[in-house]
Structure 1
Amino acid sequence: MADAKVIPFDDDRSRQGGQRPGRRRPAAGRRTAEPGTQPVPGPTAPVSSLPGQQGATEHPSGGKDAASDAPNRTGTPSDGRVREATPSGADAGTAARAAARAEQGERGAQGERGERSGAGWEQRIAGGLSFLRRRITGEYDIDEFGYDEELTDQVLMSILRPFYEKYFRVEVKGVENIPAEGGALVVANHSGTLPLDGLMMQVAVHDHHPAGRHLRLLAADLVFMLPVVNELARKAGHTLACSEDAQALLERGEVVGVMPEGFKGIGKPFGERYKLQRFGRGGFVSTALKAGTPIVPCSIVGAEEIYPMIGNSKTLARLLGIPYFPLTPTFPWLGPAGLVPLPTKWTIQFGEPIATDGYPPEAAEDPMLMFNLTDQVREQIQHTLYKLLVQRRSVFF
């Protein structure tokens, strides 16, 4: 008759024996008991530690030892029937000590996390104070265009990032198409009544490019005529939209962004949304050819609907000296509240780069080549816009 297996009933005893929860401990040895006595619960000893108690042995006469009929320490008799057993006081004490150790370890882990959090806040405060000290003492660098990289990274991007991540919930695709090093010219469509699309594109390159590159945008003259906007634009790395500045930045290995539609794109009526306007005379292609840098087409979906332009007051535009005076469903009817953009869902996709380094130096003076390359870039952006619009589920989701 086969020996009965010991059925463990206390997880703490299993852990105490070095076994992981869920794994069965080896069967323990059995001790003989006097007739009429009840089994004494308690930890069982291995067979080798109880000499002379090796279990049931067969006698020559066919009988069995007394040990074969005696119940084992867990209350399992030799007939294989299982009796319910209760943990002893030693087991209860072990469980209590284990619970106390677990609670102490949890308190220690919480304290360690609190220390790390406190250290993180201390580092942030120290970094902020150091930043303010450099601002006050003038110990920071700007380039010849007025670009302040530290201020852009620490302050300006932090201001724009909540709009990028939470308000417009921008989805970026193909940002790895921008080269990891060297100059590149990013050409994008322009829309939205106010030029928020350029700022969101700048955040997309800054936060998502694998090499952590910075986008230097080319802006119109009007941007640098406004008192406060002028200074912020310079600090953020924007420069005048002229071929000389653009070529200088490209030859220095910068990523330059341009929106050739200009005011024709950003000020077009809502009924013409996502229909690209004329891309100028191809000046951006000539600049890329002279610098020998690739052209990266970029398509932006979602900006057209932030300020639906249903009209244009040309009289007010002439009085104010601006290209157009937009009339939207909320502006100017709601006053300053009408300047709040609608929370549309954006997608920014960077396309495959178009190489220009294979052309000879005199190619920048070939009008037919510039026309063909300009049309190629425009068609690629327009095709991507249509594709993204088909994939879009909703304007706001």
Structure 2
Amino acid sequence: MTHRDEDGQEDERDGDAQIIPLNTDGRADSAPGARPVRRRRARVQPGVPARRRAPSRDLPARDVPAGEPMDAGPTGVDRRVPEQPSQGPDPADGREGSGIDDSDEPAAAVAGELEAALAGMLAFVRRRITGDYVIDEHGFDADLTEHLLAPLLRPVYRDYFRVETRGLENIPDTGGALVVANHSGTLPVDALMMAMAILDHHPAHRNLRMLAADLVFAVPFLAPFARKIGNTLACQPDAERLLRAGHLVGVWPEGFKGVGKPFRERYTLQRFGRGGFVSAALRTGVPIIPCTVVGAEEIYPMIGNARSLARLLGLPYLPITPTFPWLGLLGLVPLPSKWFIEFGEPVPTDGYPPEAADDPMLVFELTDSIRETIQHTLYSLLMERRSVFF
């Protein structure tokens, strides 16, 4: 069909196209002979409530052929109808058509976390004031550990050391077990990170009861706090008592020889003592779980040892690192190395008779086997790590 525009020029258009004049209020005139405009109803799925679709600014504008009606806004201004995707909205995405800006979600999540943390802290203070918490016979305060210490260590574990934990399925959900790990890092930060890994990521969220050296309980201010967060004296009676009671116990057989070794001997295991931890496991019949930690060696690279000053202060060693004592208290900030913690397959001990704990050859063989397992796992994890800090 041939039409003429305002200048009198002929224009070839589709025979089905109609020109629909608009009033000032945006409604189409009902001109004589004009085809009525039919508005298409939005299809509503059964069982799904109808929602008003918010305009999307991310969809490209569809080219509208000449003569095709355009969607007119409330002010009568013509607007091009955006082309809709061919597929329907994702049922799993409840935000489709809701007009919610995704950029607000991180802020909302942070606000929710802060609100939850504040509520937890207020509940913790209320329990401390009312005395609604339990301390066991060894002085362990689970409420203090989970609601005061853990929130402080969690950012260090997750964001600073970026710990990757493996093999948590090897730790039983219930019952006694003995976790045996390598020890390093000048300060025993590795023990705290192991405890955080089990508390936060194990399905049963178990507390690791740590066997600590005598020096920990000789420091006036450190001793009571160490008791409250689960540390117990590293002696045979206490270890057996905890294991028989069904606790998860952690031990670091290298002791000060491992945590205070020079940086040039990093990732080389020291002697595992006399195997007292194996005797405790044999007497109680609990499994022994070898644990390997990579990353702790680099947090305080020990390049020297002020032995004379250490003897004067009653310390096993006094480390000299690239930052301490040269930077003062700032030198106590650990370097942000990349960590791996792997829990190996349990070594069962319930198949041995009770008197096996008094067999020195058997104790030595099991001790040496566990030490070799940890050493080989150290080499394997070091091969996987791309660099010290990544």
With the shorter chain as reference, the TM-score category is 0.7 to 0.9
- Distance in 2 (alpha carbons) for counterparts of 1:383 and 1:103: 52
Decide which of 244, 249, 254 is 2:247's aligned counterpart: 254
What is the CA–CA distance in structure 2 between the aligned matches of 1:328 and 1:121, rounded to whole Å? Answer: 37
Q: Does 1:306 pair with 2:289?
A: no
Please give the secondary structure, in 2, of the residue aligned with 1:268: coil
Report if the CA contact (8 A) 2:167-2:343 is conserved: yes
- Residue in 2 aligned with 1:156? 149
Query: How far 1:226 sits from its partner (Å)?
Result: 1.2
Amino acid at match of 2:351: G
Aligned mates of 1:276, 1:124 — CA distance in 2: 40
Structure 2: runs of 5 or more not aligned: 1-13, 18-31, 41-64, 83-94
297 and 44 in structure 1: CA distance in 2 versus 1, 3 angstrom threshold: closer
Choose the corresponding residue for 1:293, options 283, 286, 293.
Answer: 286
- For residues 127 and 42 of structure 1, do their structure 2 counterparts lie closer, same or farther at Cα, with a shift above 3 Å needed? same
Q: Indicate which of 265, 282, 285 corresponds to 1:272.
A: 265
Tell me if structure 1 keeps the 8 A contact 2:121–2:147: no
Question: SS of the counterpart of 1:216?
Answer: strand
1:114-150 CA distances to partner (integer Å, 9 max, x unpaired)? 9999888666545433321221232211000111111
Structure-to-structure mapping, 1:1-397, within 5 angstroms? 39-43=34-38, 84-87=67-70, 106=99, 125-397=118-390
Query: Structure 1 residues 389, 120: CA separation in 2 closer, same or farther (over 3 Å shift)?
Result: closer
Q: What CA distance in whole angstroms lies between the structure 2 residues aligned with 1:148 and 1:187?
A: 23
Alignment TM-score, normalising by the size of structure 2:
0.75
Deviation at 1:110, TM superposition (A): 12
Q: Is the 8 A contact 1:42 1:87 kept in 2?
A: no
How far does residue 332 in structure 1 lie from its aligned partner after superposition? 1.1
Whole-Å separation in 1 of the counterparts to 2:260 and 2:313: 15
User: What's the CA shift string for 1:193-252, capped at 9, x where partnerless?
Assistant: 111011111101111111211111100011111122212211111111011111111111
Task: Report if aligned partners of 2:198, 2:208 keep a CA contact under 8 Å in 1.
Answer: yes
Q: Which of 102-111 and 143-152 deviates more?
A: 102-111
Percent identity over the alignment is 60
Letter of the 1:182 counterpart: G
Counterpart code for 1:85: E
Q: Give the direction of change, closer, same or farther, for the CA distance of 1:350–1:138 in structure 2 (3 Å limit).
A: same
Q: For 2:186 and 2:108, locate their aligned partners in 1 and report how far apart those are by CA, in whole Å.
A: 48
2:139 partner SS: coil
The residue type paired with residue 370 of structure 1 is: V
Residue range with higher mean Cα deviation, 265-274 or 334-343: 334-343
Alpha carbons 1:289, 1:361 under 8 Å: kept: yes
Instruction: Compare 384-393 and 82-91 and name the one that shifted more.
Output: 82-91
**Root mean square deviation, CA, Å:** 3.5
Alignment deviations for residues 22-43 of structure 1 (CA, whole Å, 9 cap, x no partner): xxxxxxxxxxxxxxx8653511
Contact 1:183/1:252 (<8 A) preserved: yes
In structure 1, give the amino acid aligned to 2:366. L
TM-score by length of 1: 0.74
| Greater Cα offset, 84-93 or 351-360 | 84-93
Opposite residue 185 of structure 2, the aligned amino acid is G
What SS is found at the alignment partner of 1:193?
A: coil
Q: How many residue pairs end up in the alignment?
A: 325
Secondary structure at the aligned position of 2:267 is classed as coil
Alignment partner of 1:296: what SS?
strand
Specify the structure having the higher radius of gyration (Cα): 1
Give, in whole Å, the separation in 2 of the partners of 1:179 and 1:156.
24
Paired position in structure 2 for 1:10? none
Contact preservation (8 Å) 2:302, 2:319: yes
Report the AA paired with residue 328 of structure 1: T
* 8 A contact 2:179–2:291 mirrored in 1: yes
**Structure 1 spans left out of the alignment, 5+ residues:** 8-36, 46-81
Q: Distance in 1 between matches of 2:384 and 2:259?
A: 23
User: Aligned-pair distance for 1:297?
Assistant: 0.2
Change (3 A) 1:44 1:156: closer
Return the offset for 1:85.
1.8
1:352 maps to amino acid: E
Deviations 1:69-122 (A, max 9, x none): xxxxxxxxxxxxx974214769999x99x99xx9996489999x9999988866
